[in-house]
Amino acid sequence: METVEKNIILNHDEITHKLRRIAYQIYESNVNESEVILAGIDSNGYILAKKLKTILSKISPISPVLCRVVIDKKNPRNPIKTSLKIEDYTNKSVVLIDDVLNSGTTLIYGVKHFLEVPLKRFKTAVLVNRNHKKYPVKADFKGISLSTSLHEHIDVVLDSKPYEAFLK
């Protein structure tokens, strides 16, 4: 059995710290809002959104509302599904959240979906930002930026403790 070497780029404490910093940035960017929609891309993006909701609820008077965004990553042109109805985020402040920004494909299709309705403000947040974009999309809030080779892969583990992000 072949073992794949993994290099930890963010450990549990570092991820916790980065999430807290991103939550503060979301708060600062939405300081005059009473509510913000945290739209997490299924599955790790949604887990991040839940963690950010918990932190945001503790550090600010803003009421964060979770929204699960389901994108077919193999065929992102398929219709995107959200756990909220369009009326629930129309004219609201929305933050689209994912774990890793690789080529930008998933994020750009998520952005496209939300831009089809009028929004008050729209931002993006990722834990790890790689510099291999195919599309002109950027993360407004990011935990860490990495320059990696195209052959390397980043995995983020958030569904069990300890959280970690590693390069393999």
pLDDT in tens, the chain (168 residues): 455 567 899 999 999 999 999 999 999 999 999 999 999 999 899 999 999 999 999 999 999 999 999 999 888 889 999 999 999 999 999 999 999 998 888 999 999 999 999 999 999 999 999 877 778 888 999 999 988 777 888 889 998 889 999 888
Rounded to the nearest 10 degrees, what angle do helices 44-59 and 12-29 cross at? 60
| Secondary structure letter of residue 148 according to DSSP | -
40/2 Cα distance (integer angstroms): 34
Q: Which two tokens stand for residue 45?
A: 């993006």
Pick from 104, 109, 136: which is nearest to 39 by CA?
109
| Secondary structure letter of residue 83 according to DSSP | S
Q: Is the pTM of this model over 0.75?
A: yes
The CATH code that applies to domain 33-151 is 3.40.50.2020
By DSSP bridging, strand 35-41 and strand 7-10 are unpaired
Burial of 166 (0-12, 13-18, 19+ CB in 10 A): middle
Q: Which two tokens stand for residue 154?
A: 């980043």
Burial of 155 (0-12, 13-18, 19+ CB in 10 A): middle
Domain locations along the chain: 33-151
